[in-house]
Amino acid sequence: MKKVEVITSILNANDLVAQENQGLLRNHHILGVNLMASPGAGKTSLILQTAKALAGRLRIGVIEGDLASCIDADRVASADIPVIQINTGGECHLDALTVQKAIKALPLPELDILFIENVGNLICPVEFQLGEKIRVVIASVPEGDDKPYKYPGIFTAVDVVILNKMDLTPYVDFSLDAMRQGVRTLNQRAKMFELSCRSGEGIAAWTEWLESQVHAEKK
């Protein structure tokens, strides 16, 4: 009688593909950044501002995830940044396999950073590793200061919390202290950046930190 071999899969299929993606990016010394946020929090604007700030020093590529449309990819492409648009149809998050196809379509030897802009959603994307090194959530001031308490999963899981649209603080009810405390209650290790993609305020601190991460990746 033949012995039946049982292989226990510790990782699910998505995580295995995510590991392959991580290997692909590592081989090319590319820093992978998974950008997650509510709809309209400023994911594409952050990519564009970051590319502008790092122009001539670091080369950026982008994967855009949306249910439909290529509005974001068009914005990125018009800034001369290599970009692949993924339309998920109804899916509320990106997955590693779809991202792998997009990674392979990008000019990897020419890139230092790959931004993967996830579908606008504070819940589902966090369950799916894509092969990124750094996970970022962008919160924005008009969404309110209670978001960490309401969406603890994502605020717990990320390496970086970016608070965007700081220029709108005078016009909305928002307590910066409450926001900071909400993040810190869930996540002591996350880096926090407070900025405005519209005014440019605070962008430099973020891009300097990001640049240091790219250099660490190349060592």
The yes or no reply on residue 196 touching its own copies (CB under 8 A) is: no
The yes or no reply on residue 177 touching its own copies (CB under 8 A) is: no
Which residue from 13, 55, 92, 216 is in contact with its own copies, where contact means CB under 8 A?
A: 92
Compute the half-sphere exposure of residue 34: CA atoms within 13 Å on the CB side of its CA. 28
Which residue from 12, 78, 146, 175 is in contact with its own copies, where contact means CB under 8 A?
A: 146
Which residue from 20, 198, 213, 217 is in contact with its own copies, where contact means CB under 8 A?
A: 198
Report the nearest approach of its own copies to the CB of residue 141 (Å): 8
Which residue from 11, 13, 105, 172 is in contact with its own copies, where contact means CB under 8 A?
A: 172
Report the nearest approach of its own copies to the CB of residue 183 (Å): 14
Report the nearest approach of its own copies to the CB of residue 23 (Å): 29
Residues 6+ apart with CB under 8 A from 101: none
The yes or no reply on residue 152 touching its own copies (CB under 8 A) is: yes
The yes or no reply on residue 69 touching its own copies (CB under 8 A) is: yes
CB 113 within 8 A of CB 33: yes
Rounded Cα–Cα distance for residues 61 and 21 (Å): 15
Structure tokens that stand for 166 in this block: 């700081």
The CA–CA distances, whole Å, from 140 to 37, 72, 172, 195 equal: 9, 18, 11, 9
Rounded Cα–Cα distance for residues 21 and 96 (Å): 7
H-helix or E-strand containing 50?
helix 43-54
Rounded Cα–Cα distance for residues 130 and 149 (Å): 25
Stretch that binds its own copies, among 10-18, 19-27, 60-68, 208-216 (CB under 8 A): 60-68
Rounded Cα–Cα distance for residues 83 and 150 (Å): 32
The yes or no reply on residue 67 touching its own copies (CB under 8 A) is: yes
Question: Measured from the CB atom, is 175 or 212 closer to its own copies?
Answer: 175
Q: Helix crossing, 203-218 with 43-54: angle to 10°?
A: 70
Question: Measured from the CB atom, is 145 or 211 closer to its own copies?
Answer: 145
CB 179 within 8 A of CB 148: yes
x/- letters, 20..59, toward its own copies (CB under 8 A):
------------------xxxx------------------
Residues that bind its own copies (CB under 8 A): 38-41, 66-69, 71, 90, 92, 119-124, 140, 142-144, 146-147, 149-153, 165, 167-168, 171-173, 198
